[in-house]
Amino acid sequence: KLDVHLTESPLFWLLLAGMGLTLTVFIADKINEAKYNKLKNKQEEIRGILQESFETFARIIDAKDPYTRGHSLRVAEYAKLIAGEMGYSEEDRERVYWIGMLHDIGKIGVTDLILQKPGRLDSSEYSLIQTHVDVGGRILEDFEALPGIAEGAKYHHERWDGKGYSTHRMGRDIPEIARIICVADSFDAMTSPRVYRKALSVEYARRELVSCAGTQFDPDIVPVMLRLIDSGQVPIEIEET
C-alpha cells in the first residue's frame, strides 16, 4: 500500500497553481471591467458636456444674425452626413460635427452692422466679413484636442479653383475637412432665408452644386451631397431651444 500524501504530489501543486492563476485572472478581469465601465461612463459624460458647450457656442455665433439662426448646427449635421457617406469612422464623424459647429466662430469679430445689413454688402463690407476666416483660425489654432478644427474655420471659404479666400488655396491643398464644410455651408446658405432674400429652393441649390463642382466645390464631394439630397436625408430642420 502506497501512503502518498496529496500535498507531496507535484500534480497537486500544479493544479493548485493553475487554479490560483485562473482566479487571479478572473478577479483582475472583473476589476478591469469595472474600471472600464467607469471610464466609459466618464467619457460619455465628458462628451455630453463638450457637445452642449459646442452647441452653446454655435448658438452664440448664430445669434449675431437672426437670419442665420440654426445655421451652424445644420452645417455641422450636413458635414457629419457627408463624412459618413465618405466612409469616415464614427469617431471622425463626431469630430467633423464639432468642427462644423464652430466653423463660423470668427464672426464674433465682425460688427453686427455688417452681419445684419438689410441688403447686399458693398466691396469694403465684403472685405471685412471675409476676415472672419482668419479670426476663426487664430481663435482655434491652439485647440489641439480636436484635430482639424482650426482648418475648418480658416479654409471653409476656399474654392477648388483657387478663387476663394483668404489664402487662395486650391484643389487638394485645401484640407478635406474644409472642403466638406464648404459644401455643407453653401447648401445651407442657399436654402436658408437671408435679410436680403428668401430661402432658395432645394432644387435650385442642387443645380448650383452640380454647376459649381470642380470650380467652387470639390468635384468628389458634390456627388456625395447630391446622394444625401436625393435620399431625403438633407435638408434637415433644427429645433431651437
| 107 is annotated as an active-site residue | yes
d(CA 188, CA 74): 7
- Which of the following is catalytic: 42, 64, 107, 154? 107
Among 49, 48, 47, 72, which Cα is nearest to 59's?
Answer: 72
Helix (H) or strand (E) holding 212: helix 202-212
DSSP 24-70: HHHHHHHHHHHHHHHHHHHHHHHHHHHHHHHHHHHHHHHHTSGGGTT
d(CA 194, CA 171): 29
- Residues with catalytic roles: 107
